[in-house]
Structure 1
Amino acid sequence: MKMGWKMLVLAGMGLLMLLALGLVRSLLDERQSRAEEVQREIAQFSAGEQNLSGPYLVFPYTVRVDKWQPAEGGKSGRWAQSEESKQLLLSPSQLTVDGKLAVELLKRGLFEAPVYRSQLQLGGQFHIPALAAYEETLNNDTERRSTRWGKPYLALGLSDVRGIQQLAGQAGGQALAFVPGAGLAHSPRGVHAVVALAASDVLHAQGQGLSFRLGLQLAGSSALLVEPAGDSSTVNLAGNWPHPSFAGNFAPQSRSVNAQGFRARWQTSELATGGNPCLQGKSGCEQNWVGLRLLDPVDRYVLNERTMKYAELFVLLMMGGVFLLEVINRVSVHPVQYTLVMLGLAMFFLLTLSLSEHLGFAMAYWLAALASVLLQGAYGSSVLGSWQSGGVFAGMLAALYGLLFMILQSQDMALLMGSLSLFALLALTMYLTRRIDWGSLGGGSKAPAVTADRQQTDAQSRSLARWQPAVL
């Protein structure tokens, strides 16, 4: 087959390989989606991500408005009455949250998801201002306003109340009895408890304080986020998960992560958080959070996805390697044989994905690489006509597998390692092919081009001929 036609056929085979790799990639996406679905199902049957907001001290009140509506003619009229329910929300002046997480993996078939049980201790103090400053009063000939205060309560917001296993506490020395419903406009899900504090006691009092302490056993999955609701907040979290991803609006002030678990500490102030816009009745307000997510840095599907990013380049390099050995050894490799070699490379990615669901990713990767090297080495020996050539091809393939694994393990150096490796491969290819007469491989009618060595030999012969004496 002429070289031009062969290059055209190889280009078509490359397109078919892209299709095959696309099928493997779609299978990876399907398995990854299934794993995420299982995580959602586990969270649905236990408890999902937990966002803990508060506690807040809530003073509900009702504003009664009477407006005079004159009748037609202006001689008589009536008072129209309406009422509006409002809330005065107070955040703690000082808040401390101490939590310990016990994390375990729940499995369903081949898939698993991290879940946790936490022991949380919340403590702090509220500074209660004089409520008279918040009353709406008005009395004239056309409008009258009056304020009626309800029973204050302590509110705690939770994103998934199913995770509450035990909750007890006290405020002002009195035990609290929690009931469902947070009673907060910006966070309706949660619990609340009536506080033994009469509104009349703080109607005109200045600077009265209310201390509280809560003990909460909370279950959840994937993440735990705590709102630093106090004017001054301190959050301490510790657990046995060795791979936490700290999340939220603030980085931990101190952290410690090792193989046994993690420990982190956050400290915030009202100056840093800007207060809580949700307490000011703003719509679409965004709360501040600190906490962590339970991520798996060696997630098999994430690593398989990173491996597939190099699939096209990997196949292209090996196709070029086969072509280079074909030219150097002066053998003819049929396009069908190229196709089988490329399909064997595509099977490596499929084997890695399927084995990683039963074994660790590293073991699955090397088992698939070993099977691929043995298969391609044996087949390459037959195609290229010698065990030496097959061994060279298998060695090239093993080196690429090792290089790819190193790139996968080093996220920060992946780009540098990849670019340097490609440059080295290009330089090696240029060195090995520097004496190949590409013109003679084209199958044309022109005489083959003279190689560099032949040109140098002819030049030396002409130089010697000028100094040789003529024969008489």
Structure 2
Amino acid sequence: MIEEQSQPQGFMHWLRESVTVKLVFIGFLVLILLIPSVLIQNLIQERSTRQDDTEKQVSDQYSGSQLVQGPVLVIPYKTQVKENVASGKEVTKEVIKNIFILPNELNYNANVSPDVLHRGIFEVVVYNSAIKVSGNFTRADLNLLSITPDQLMPEKARMLFSISDLKGLKTNPQFKVAGQVATAEPAFGDNVFANGLQVAVNLTGMMDKAIPFDFNLELNGSQELSFLHLGKTTDVTVKGNWGSPSFSGRYLPDIRKIDPKTNTFEAKWRMLYYNRPFPQQWADDYSLIANSKKTDDATFGVKLRLPVDQYQKTMRSSKYAILIIMLTFISLFLTEMISKQRIHVFNYVLIGAAMIVYYTLLLSFSEQIGFTFAYLIASAATVILVAAFLRSLIKSMRSTGLFAFILSLFYAFIYIIIQLEDLALLVGSVALFLIIATLMYFSRKINWDRH
């Protein structure tokens, strides 16, 4: 009877003291903590989506990202077409079609004044810009289009241009074309550009000459200002008081000067028509420039986004959650073995919970004070909490101090990895190698055959 009672007691003692059982439990707990880790990442994504929705809402109310397109010169011409009527006879009918000519020289000179609007805890970059557009058109090569000069109707010519969000237009553009001054009006009935504007010009007697033009745009927008490469030679200069611009599109600027100290930038592009996806002239086809693939290939500009995206960095931090939890548990286990003071499995659960709550602290603080200070506060709070809890369990100041130092190194390591880009893989691999080597060194002191 005594032997029967001692066997269950012996089994329970082995279950409590077995290193193998403890390691299996730690591994199981790490897997269980994957669930709240995924939920935390979903929360971060939800907050990031809310920020995007806020940016879209503010852009809809203020003005969206702006794409400046054009101008394009449109010249009507008369041509004869043959049609079959109901009686079966073939009749000749005169119709009006159009020639489309792109600029020979196209110059954009933009000064951008950004501002930051606040909507709750979210921030959205908007801007006011003054853009001078100038250039010239040269005569069309009518032979390539199989058109004769007497077919042209230069007195009914017009110039088309577009901006992507007309709500941002603050003044009515005044065009100067070949000595004529005209006011832009909405362009209805064609689809050369979305949100098109046009000016009517009389080019009688000017078809063999260069036709100069210039106009000014006072334009509001948000986050991005882009241009469409339409000139045979396109020159663009953009200046602004923003210390952290990025450049978008297929073409990077030839010259860029960014001065974070004065919070200013200047960028210049010069592009030739060899890599432009549009011909210099064509007839009849309204939809050629409206082709989204070609438009994307010819669009370039500057983005004025906020320099720090706390959601992106918090998400990157959360992806290392399981690594931090696993290394923390291994360090805690080694501390337990070396100090020979048992830590109950429930205490592992509580410490794991603190590791997860860390990311909600990081997310909530980063929305208020920025990622760097939020990371410092969340890391310090977690290290202090876990170290104080461990101190109450093992009663060893030396072991507790060593564990707190190791945990601090883990958080510092993750922060460095997040800040790095090109060297992140190299630094991360070397650091993990050193961590494993350190764990190997301390694990030598454990008698694995004892339990």
TM-score normalised by length of structure 2: 0.87
Report if the CA contact (8 A) 2:247-2:301 is conserved: yes
Amino acid at match of 2:447: D
Q: Distance in 1 between matches of 2:222 and 2:71?
A: 22
Greater RCO (Cα-Cα under 8 Å, separation 6 or more): 2
TM alignment of 1:350-389, pairs within 5 A: 350-389=360-399
SS in structure 2 at match of 1:436:
coil
Q: Distance in 1 between matches of 2:38 and 2:140?
A: 65
Amino acid at match of 1:195: V
TM alignment of 1:27-38, pairs within 5 A: 27-38=43-54
Residue 117 (1) aligns with residue 133 (2): no
Consecutive unaligned residues of structure 2, counting only runs of 5 or more, are 1-15
Q: Distance in 1 between matches of 2:280 and 2:137?
A: 18
1:174 to 180, 183, 205: 180
SS in structure 1 at match of 2:63:
coil
Residue 161 (1) aligns with residue 169 (2): no
Amino acid at match of 2:115: E
Shift of residue 86, structure 1, vs aligned partner: 3.1
SS in structure 2 at match of 1:266:
strand
Shift of residue 178, structure 1, vs aligned partner: 0.6
Q: Distance in 1 between matches of 2:139 and 2:165?
A: 29
Residue 128 (1) aligns with residue 131 (2): no
TM alignment of 1:247-326, pairs within 5 A: 247-259=248-260, 260-273=263-276, 275-276=278-279, 281=285, 282=288, 286-287=294-295, 288-326=298-336
Report if the CA contact (8 A) 2:177-2:201 is conserved: yes
Q: Distance in 1 between matches of 2:281 and 2:241?
A: 34
Report if the CA contact (8 A) 1:315-1:345 is conserved: yes
SS in structure 2 at match of 1:229:
coil
The structure having more radius of gyration, on CA atoms, is 1
TM alignment of 1:3-18, pairs within 5 A: 3-18=19-34
- The residue number in structure 2 matching 1:458 is none
Report if the CA contact (8 A) 1:100-1:238 is conserved: yes
2:98 to 66, 75, 87: 87
- The residue number in structure 2 matching 1:46 is 62
Q: Distance in 2 between matches of 1:82 and 1:309?
A: 70
Shift of residue 279, structure 1, vs aligned partner: 5.5
Q: Distance in 1 between matches of 2:228 and 2:292?
A: 17
Q: Distance in 1 between matches of 2:48 and 2:195?
A: 31
Amino acid at match of 1:264: A
Q: Distance in 2 between matches of 1:285 and 1:413?
A: 35
SS in structure 1 at match of 2:31:
helix
Specify whether residues 21 and 364 from structure 1 end up closer, same or farther in structure 2 by C-alpha distance, changes over 3 A only: same
Residue 390 (1) aligns with residue 395 (2): no
SS in structure 1 at match of 2:449:
helix
SS in structure 2 at match of 1:438:
coil
Amino acid at match of 1:31: R
Q: Distance in 2 between matches of 1:119 and 1:154?
A: 21
Specify whether residues 276 and 385 from structure 1 end up closer, same or farther in structure 2 by C-alpha distance, changes over 3 A only: farther
Q: Distance in 2 between matches of 1:388 and 1:407?
A: 29
Aligned residues: 423
Consecutive unaligned residues of structure 1, counting only runs of 5 or more, are 72-76, 138-145, 442-472
Q: Distance in 2 between matches of 1:244 and 1:399?
A: 33
SS in structure 2 at match of 1:208:
coil
Q: Distance in 2 between matches of 1:115 and 1:193?
A: 29
Specify whether residues 273 and 378 from structure 1 end up closer, same or farther in structure 2 by C-alpha distance, changes over 3 A only: same
Q: Distance in 1 between matches of 2:122 and 2:402?
A: 40
Shift of residue 19, structure 1, vs aligned partner: 0.9
Q: Distance in 1 between matches of 2:128 and 2:292?
A: 31
Q: Distance in 2 between matches of 1:195 and 1:269?
A: 27
**1:38-64 deviations in Å (ceiling 9; x for gaps):** 000011111111111111111134545
Report if the CA contact (8 A) 1:229-1:276 is conserved: no
Q: Distance in 2 between matches of 1:278 and 1:325?
A: 77
Q: Distance in 1 between matches of 2:432 and 2:232?
A: 56
Residue 402 (1) aligns with residue 412 (2): yes
Report if the CA contact (8 A) 1:331-1:384 is conserved: yes
SS in structure 1 at match of 2:342:
coil
Q: Distance in 2 between matches of 1:24 and 1:39?
A: 23
Q: Distance in 2 between matches of 1:148 and 1:94?
A: 23
**1:94-153 deviations in Å (ceiling 9; x for gaps):** 11110010011111001111111110001111102366875669xxxxxxxx88777111
